[in-house]
Chains A and B, each alone.
Chain A
Amino acid sequence: MEGTTVPQSVVRPDHSSDAGSAGAAVSLRGVSKWYLGRNDHTHALSQVDLDVSAGEFVSVIGPSGCGKSTLLRVVGGLVPYETGSVDVAGTTPAAARRTKQLGFTPQTPALLPWRTVRRNVRFLSELNARRAAREPLSEKDSVALLETVGLGEFIDSFPNQLSGGMQQRVALVRSFVLGAPVMLMDEPFSALDEITRNEMRYLLLDLWARTQKTVIFVTHSIPEAVILADRVLVMAPRPGRVVSIEPIDLPRPRVASMEDDPQYLEHVRSVRAALHAVSVR
């Protein structure tokens, strides 16, 4: 975004402990998950081990049916799993979900059309409010965040007055307003055109850098996975499993000019090779 400044209140010092705490924010040990059908069973996840440290940004990439969405939903406590153990923010996924410690971003913006932008970003904060372990961002900070992403003029607009990219920006702000330490993003930019999508990556990085959340980001796009993440998880289907983990040692903050960087291109090539090895098998 064109050099917008954010009020200090948005850079939330009270959440810095999330990033600072030692150990993993998300930890999976030998997690397996089956989808049982009448005639066929799908081994959606097989023996998945993963540690994501607090404040880390992990991208998950893989062909369709490799279980990356399932992985996200297991961590989010949205689907049950059969074996293994999952630890999210120091507790079980179900408990983390109950206490609103998980910020989920779906594939579509999923804004409520009858709510203005201002009320849409507050939506998740209003729900199940009594059990929330953390305070959501205040109304003032929410508005400041909307201004950061260039939606200052549209705070009282309804979603049908916004373009697709603007709606997705509202959805991003909504997930950050919740104040949850762990963010789960399920291909949030997949419905956007390439140009908008590229802008959104840096916008997300900006928001992430300000808030220091732990992010698990599922995507189909190799460049997206690489430019965003500290590590890229490559998954393979049948059974769904993690085949390789690519650490991305590009410096932060990431900027668009890095996309011409040989180091970046090398990472892209490497992730592509890992994916290729999976799909020709």
Chain B
Amino acid sequence: MSVSVSISDHETGAEQVPSPPRQPLRRLAVMIAPVVGLVLVFGLWELYVRAAGVRPLTLPPPSRVLRHVIEEPGFYWEHAVITIEEATLGFWLGFAAAVAVATFMALSRFVERATLPTIVLLQSTPVAVLAPVFLIWFGFNIWPKALVAAVFCYVPFVTNAFTGLRSIDENAFELMRSVSSSRREIFWKLRLPHCLPYLFSSARLCLGLALVGAVIGEMFAGSTGGLGNTARVAQTRLLVDQLWGSIFVLALIGVVANLVLAAVESRMLRWHSSQTTRR
């Protein structure tokens, strides 16, 4: 980024401006690096299984798992949709609850002090054990799984949202006070936009957590569908392909969700330092 203005420019007059160095190879390397990492891991896995003659029941080669998934697209699609629905519902439930609570925390010291211990409590509890409770409350439907996912997402969302709403620029705050800006204006024009990068960074974490929550819900809160369920069934019946197939599809969902989030983030946070290109 070359920002300069005539007044602060140190132009050297006659000297010729050098053309920027061209490094096509280096750029290509940077672009394909992630692919290289993945290919390496799966390649070594494949190689090890074949060379050491590992039994497929212990660890099938990735090529076999992939072939299995491709042969059964309908089966995996059906269950992926169930898990995605649960995780999405949980993600947004956790998000909405967290933003609402964080807003009240940011506006009132009392609410902040009253709420913090409950967050610590929730953070310290292995919330997966709530799955059976939610099952008793809501029965065999989407809600127990979505709620487990929501509880997983709630803590990172609420702590980050609160930090984002609270840690505003003091000078900007005073500037707004100097024209008698209302609390509402301060919230919408200062606190909330300032909070956005915090929400995005926690969203990245919570995408994974929502999937974990949904899968745990499917495993412990009674289910007849979803990839957590297919994995659990596969384990009891020693269907090793289906077990690993479920894992692969879950991983794929996580990756795609992250890519979508990254795209949204780079559009919405163009102004943020995290989005400026590294030099």
Contacts and interface: CB of A to CB of B under 8 A. Distances in A.
Contacts of B272: 113-114, 160
Contacts of B171: 106-108, 110
A112 B180 contact: no
Contact of A158 (B5, B7, B190, B271): B271
B179 A97 contact: yes
A196 B8 CA distance: 8
A103 B273 CA distance: 29
Nearest to A160: B273
A166 interface: yes
B179 A106 contact: no
Nearest to A116: B271
A238 interface: no
B175 A104 contact: yes
A150 B5 contact: yes
A36 interface: no
A102 B8 contact: no
A127 B172 contact: no
Interface stretch (B138-146, B181-189, B219-227, B232-240): B181-189
B8 to A, nearest CB: 7
Contacts of B193: 112, 114
Interface string A112-128: 11110000000110111
A122 B175 CA distance: 13
Contact of B6 (A78, A150, A178): A150
A252 interface: no
Interface residues of A, number: 41
A11 to B, nearest CB: 22
B178 to A, nearest CB: 4
Contacts of A162: 3
B101 interface: no
Nearest to A151: B5
Interface in A160-205: 160-163, 165-166, 178, 184, 196, 199
Interface in B149-176: 169, 171-172, 174-176
Contacts of A113: 271-273
A131 B5 contact: no
Nearest to B182: A128
A160 B180 contact: no
26 contacts: A2-B6, A97-B177, A97-B179, A108-B171, A110-B169, A110-B174, A112-B172, A112-B189, A112-B190, A124-B175, A127-B180, A127-B185, A127-B189, A128-B179, A131-B180, A151-B5, A153-B5, A157-B3, A158-B270, A159-B271, A160-B272, A161-B1, A163-B3, A163-B8, A184-B178, A196-B8
Closest 7 CB pairs of A and B: A104-B178, A110-B171, A106-B171, A158-B271, A110-B172, A127-B181, A98-B180
Given A76-B178, A97-B177, 6 more contacts: A106-B172, A108-B169, A112-B193, A123-B189, A154-B3, A199-B7
